[in-house]
Amino acid sequence: MKFSSKILEQAVVSLTTLPGIGKKTALRLALHLSQDHSKKAQQIAFALNQLATMIRKCSVCGNLSDEECCEICKSKHRQNNILCIVESSRDVMAIEETQQFNGKYHVLGGVISPLDGIGPEELNIQGLIQRIDNENIEEIIMAISPTIEGETTIYFISKLVKEKNIKISVIARGVSFGGDLEYTDELTLGRSIQSRLPYQVDN
């Protein structure tokens, strides 16, 4: 592509480094920002600079935070004895949206994936063990994606935690609400039959 401006070209090149943004989209965005929207460009530049320099991981749980310790870890209205273990900050947001969990979180920062060179050392597992040893934790909930890597991670952590005499649970897997049995994959459907629950009829 021939650019009439080096500055425009650099903006396009830098935007294409983003996931899911191709050359055409990057060009569209850069042209949008260069023509009559320079204030918007400056606002985004400022926000991204803040993101790059100011944001950090909570020293307790590993969630993204503006301060040393995140809002959730600081909160006095949350149960201290139950930990929800997740892969990323995105998952914390997803679970918070459900309003079904009032304990605290522990963000691993990924899952064990030898093919990508991610072993247990690369994850925030040591921090988890320390929290279990030092805090008064009674249950950990594994809210990790049911993939091969996710299952491996769950197994690894469970083995480490096994002798510490705490309850370990995994979030329920099965057919989605509103989902169609016909289109559910065999593995999910098979598991959902295996782990069927008693149906309670109100009197």
> How far lies 18's CA from each of 98, 112, 117, 142, 175, in Å?
29, 24, 22, 30, 33
89 binds its own copies (CB under 8 A): yes
55 binds its own copies (CB under 8 A): yes
43 binds its own copies (CB under 8 A): yes
69, 76, 90, 185: which one contacts its own copies (CB under 8 A)? 90
Shortest separation between residue 158's beta carbon and its own copies, angstroms: 26
3-class SS shares of the chain: helix, strand, coil, % to 5: 50, 10, 40
60, 68, 71, 129: which one contacts its own copies (CB under 8 A)? 71
Residue bearing tokens 């985004």:
44
Q: Which of residues 133-162 bind its own copies (CB under 8 A)?
A: none
29 binds its own copies (CB under 8 A): yes
Residue closer to its own copies, measured from CB, 97 or 186: 97
Residue closer to its own copies, measured from CB, 125 or 161: 125
Alpha carbons within 13 A on the beta-carbon side of 71: 8
Residue closer to its own copies, measured from CB, 2 or 159: 2
60, 70, 125, 140: which one contacts its own copies (CB under 8 A)? 70
Gyration radius of the chain's alpha carbons: 22
CA angle 167, 132, 116 (to 5 degrees): 90
100 binds its own copies (CB under 8 A): no
Contacts of 33 (CB under 8 A, 6+ apart): 11, 40, 41, 44
